[in-house]
Amino acid sequence: LASYCSIKGECLVEVRSAYNESIQRKHSFTLTMTQQISIDYETHSPRFSVHDALQMQQGIEYLNENGYAVFADVLAPDEITANIDLFWEYLENLPAPYHIRRDDSQTWDAAWPGLTHVGIMPSDGIPHSQFMWCVRGNPH
């Protein structure tokens, strides 16, 4: 995204601005582990293309309004495959109590890392894993 935006000019400034605004609007409450949250699995989040200036603008507007945006076609199919492999390599090399194996779905629930109730993995080394740096370093 950063490289695409720097090529396209002021887009990078808009993305940074949108990100800063979304950070400022963070939730004013703390979710405790005892609170129940509702996740809507039915509503489809719109995708915005990184290769289309109008869709990039719409994605930034959506980010400003909703606090998140999904940008499609950031990775080529071969990059997706390579990054999926890096993700599983990360998971399979986690120390105990994790014993996750890509080819054994029975190992996926018992000790999955992160905040499984919301699908976020903020710890256990993933922020600086090869997988994450490969995705972050993608020019789109």
| Burial of 38: CB neighbours in 10 Å, binned 0-12, 13-18, 19+ | exposed
Q: What percent of the chain has pLDDT over 70?
A: 73
Cβ pair 60, 69 in contact under 8 A: yes
Mean pLDDT, the chain, whole residue set: 79
Task: Could you list the beta-strand ranges (E) of the chain.
Answer: 47-49, 70-72
Which pLDDT score, from 0 to 100, does residue 13 have? Answer: 53
Residues 6 or more apart from 75 whose CB is under 8 A from it?
A: 83, 135, 138, 140
Q: Write the pLDDT tens digit of every residue in 31-64.
A: 455 566 677 788 889 999 999 999 999 999 999 9
Q: What percent of the chain has pLDDT over 90?
A: 40
Least confident among 33-42, 86-95, 101-110: 33-42
Query: Hey, what are 76's tokens?
Result: 């080529």
